[in-house]
Amino acid sequence: MTDDALDALTRDLHAHLEATAELPIDRETNRWLGEAEAVARDAATSDLTAPVVKERVQHVEDLLSEVEDTGHEAGNEHLEAARSICRTILNG
C-alpha cells in the first residue's frame, strides 16, 4: 500500500468515526467510539511512519470490537465502514 493510499484511508477512517459524534448514541458506546476517533485522528493528522499508523489503526480496531451496535442506523453504517477500513489498512 502506498503512503498516499494509507493517508487517504486513515482520513476516511477518522471521518467515519468523527461523524458518529453528532449522533444520539448511548454514553458507553459513545465513549468507545470517541476514544477510537481520537486515535484515528492522530493516525490521520500526525506525521507518522506507516508501521506506527498501522499500530494506531490496530488500536482503533480493538476499540471498535467493544461496540456491537450503536443503536442508530447511520451510526451502525459509520461503524461498519470504519471496521472495513481498519481491515483494509491492516491487511494492506
Encode pLDDT of 17-48 as tens digits.
Answer: 999 998 999 999 999 999 999 999 999 999 99
Q: Could you tell me the CA-to-CA distances from 34 to 2, 15, 53, 76 in Å, in that order? A: 28, 12, 18, 14
Residue 92 has pLDDT above 90, yes or no: no
pTM exceeding 0.85: yes
List the chain domain ranges.
Answer: 3-91
